Chain A
Amino acid sequence: MNEWLYVALFIVVGLIIPIGAIAAGFIFGPKKPNPIKETTYECGIETVGDTWVQFKAQYYIFALVFLVFDVEAVFLFPWAVKIGQLGLYAVVEGIIFITILIVGLMYAWRKGMLEWA
């Protein structure tokens, strides 16, 4: 039988239990909503302006850098599983692979992209 069936069971039970807990809170808790209670909390004064503030572009840049290294690590996992059985050439190939990306990281750093400014 497919082992993902068990993972699916974990996902299903992992959803049921928090839903059950929140449902218990829903059943036993009081429900008296009113507009003043539902106002947004903000440090003792009334909310000003739209919630959807525009964010720094830096978040996007960091996410982009992350994506590059995420994909890189994913490539390295099959390599890491097999290098114990393969010769030195496989290790050297992996090291070349990583070094190329470290050069990219150094370049981004020298250009000041990794700073929060």
Chain B
Amino acid sequence: MNFWNDPLKIAADWMEGIFVGWGMDAVLAHVLVAFLGVFLLIAILMVVDIFLVWVERKVVARFQDRLGPNRLGPFGLIQPFADIIKLIIKEDTTPGGADKVVYNLAPILSMMSVLILWAVVPIAPVMLGVDLNVGVLFLIAAGAIGTLSIIMAGWSSNNKFALIGGFRQVAVMVAFEVPMLTMLLVPTIFASSMNMNDIIQGQGNLWYFALSPLGALIFLVAAIAELGRAPFDLAEGESELVSGFNIEYSGMKFGMFYAGELLHAMTFGGIWAILFFGGYRFFGLEQVSPFLAIPIFLFKALIGYWIIMWVRYTMMRIRIDQMLVFNWVFLTPLSFVLLMVTALMNALLKDASLWIYGLGMFLSNVVVGWIALEIARSVSRKQRESVEGPKNLAEAPH
């Protein structure tokens, strides 16, 4: 083992040696080094987060045929730092009648719920926070704290818009958690493990996207709803609720919600890449060195993030009733059917060769997706006809 293969372990051992040499207790030294490592990872994430502000603004500008920030520094790269300074020197107002403790706790919990996701995200073969055997469920548990922080922000602000925005967002988040949980079961079945690292290792021959393209798609839709981004951005709803659950926040507290949302989107890009696109894997390159694996993972995460942005700036907002009916009547039953088909095919093709297994999985996904779309099409046609009456062929244009 050399520095090129496992830099973190070498650095950690070296530092632990120094601390023990100072006469520190071995366990305490280990905890201290682990603390420093976690601190370093999260500090890097915060720096990445600052640049995500720039990425988001630049990409939205391109989608809308604008240039985006381009004055401050090369390509406007210094702009996000100016934004940070602005957020820091703004007055931090608290609305009258707000519930102070809950009001101040909400942005902290919101950011925390995003940061702890990285505890189970493997960024390279040897680099992950915790090798938890329930990693996949841990993601949902962290999301539960994020949901709670939105309800806390909405309730404590003493503002009707904030309350309505928070409640709508939470209703959507919990609703779309069901298809998300179900689609987390699909990689779990393939890898026979809930461990994130095992899921990546299981994709050595074939990415799970090839085995379950429909599952990856449903997961992406559910993830966008979980993030509260357009077309599911009810919580903000600028045109109806002004800014939704964070309307009364200013300065750095608002900054925490904003930065948390961007980092959350990027994190979900990374989780999508891990679950369905092999994470840090790329034709064996990841085995050479973690210095190669990290850029591969980051690249895949950014592609996922870019797709989430693409959807955000292309689709318009959906009404809450449409959103919930879409989830409960279409997406949830579809994800359950897909789960059952996947489990059944997995058992039937267990002993077949990789090609037959992959082809069978892929085709069953396509068939399930096609049938679901056909049913949705016929139902929506019936609904349309019940509103505007059946098309009268006699009155067709000449």
Contacts and interface: CB of A to CB of B under 8 A. Distances in A.
For the side of the interface on B, what is the size category? 35 or more
A28 B27 CA distance: 39
Nearest to B130: A6
Contacts of A29: 88-92, 251-252
Interface in B149-170: 158-161, 163-164, 167
Interface in B27-47: 27, 30-31, 34-35, 38-39, 42-43, 46
Contacts of A65: 328
B16 interface: no
A84 B343 CA distance: 9
Contacts of B193: 81
Give the one of A65, A74, A82 with max B CB within 10 A. Answer: A65
B359 interface: no
A107 B193 CA distance: 33
A116 B247 CA distance: 26
B332 A51 contact: no
Interface string A89-117: 01100110011011001100100001111
B95 A40 contact: yes
Contacts of B111: 14, 17-18
Contacts of B182: 73
A12 B253 CA distance: 19
Nearest to B87: A25
Interface in A12-57: 12-15, 17-19, 21-22, 24-26, 28-33, 35, 37-43, 47, 51-53, 55
A66 B178 contact: yes
Given A3-B130, A14-B116, A25 B181 contact: no
Contacts of A14: 42, 111-112, 115-116
Given A7-B130, A17-B115, A105 B333 contact: yes
B123 to A, nearest CB: 14
Contacts of A81: 188, 192-194
Contacts of A31: 91-92
Nearest to B182: A73
A3 B136 CA distance: 15
Contacts of A25: 87-90, 92, 251-253, 255
A53 B163 contact: yes
A51 B314 CA distance: 34
Contact of A84 (B92, B255, B320, B350): B350
A83 B90 contact: no
Contacts of A17: 42-43, 46, 111, 115
B242 A62 contact: no
Nearest to A66: B174
A45 to B, nearest CB: 12
A117 to B, nearest CB: 8
Contacts of A69: 178, 181, 332
A39 B87 CA distance: 21
A63 to B, nearest CB: 6
B94 interface: yes
B129 A38 contact: no
A13 B35 contact: yes
A10 B38 contact: yes
B255 A21 contact: yes
A43 B242 contact: yes
Given A25-B92, A63-B171, A83-B189, A114 B252 contact: no
Closest 9 CB pairs of A and B: A25-B252, A116-B321, A14-B115, A38-B96, A73-B181, A14-B112, A18-B111, A10-B119, A84-B192
18 contacts: A7-B116, A9-B34, A9-B35, A10-B116, A10-B130, A14-B116, A38-B93, A41-B248, A62-B324, A66-B174, A74-B137, A77-B134, A81-B193, A82-B192, A84-B350, A114-B329, A116-B324, A117-B321
Interface of B: 27, 30-31, 34-35, 38-39, 42-43, 46, 87-97, 104, 107-108, 111-112, 115-116, 118-119, 129-132, 134, 136-138, 158-161, 163-164, 167, 171, 174-175, 177-178, 181-182, 185, 188-189, 192-194, 242, 247-248, 251-253, 255-256, 320-321, 324-325, 328-329, 332-333, 336-337, 339-340, 343-344, 346-348, 350
Given A25-B89, A94-B343, 18 more contacts: A3-B132, A9-B34, A22-B253, A25-B90, A25-B255, A29-B89, A29-B90, A29-B251, A31-B91, A39-B96, A40-B97, A62-B171, A63-B174, A66-B177, A73-B182, A84-B189, A84-B350, A87-B347
